[in-house]
Amino acid sequence: MNITLQIPSHIAHAIHLPRPVDEQLLMVEFAVALYAQGMLSFGKARALAEMDKQTFGHLLGKREIPRHYTQTDLEDDFAYAYGE
């Protein structure tokens, strides 16, 4: 499923983006916003932003957006690391 967003031209002109409007930049902003609100996982958000784990994680850090990483996630990671 693909979703197309239509932004009215008067609003698009008000968005302060480098010209020409970079669709990738908008996708990064969208991915960060969805992740910050808990609407997308880290993996799905970084895929939407077309960034690797390190780059996306660094971007979140620069913007002071906390990672959604629970105690259960940590335990699962340890279990995976120890082959359990």
The residues spanned by each domain of the chain are: 20-81
pLDDT at 1: 84
Does the pLDDT of residue 2 top 80, yes or no? yes
Return all residues near 75 (Cβ < 8 A) that are at least 6 apart. Answer: none
Q: pLDDT band for 74, please (50, 70, 90 cuts).
A: confident
pLDDT, tens only, 12-64: 788 877 666 678 888 999 999 999 999 999 999 999 999 999 999 999 999 99
pLDDT at 61: 96
Burial group, residue 81, by CB count within 10 angstroms (0-12, 13-18, 19+)? exposed
d(CA 69, CA 82): 19
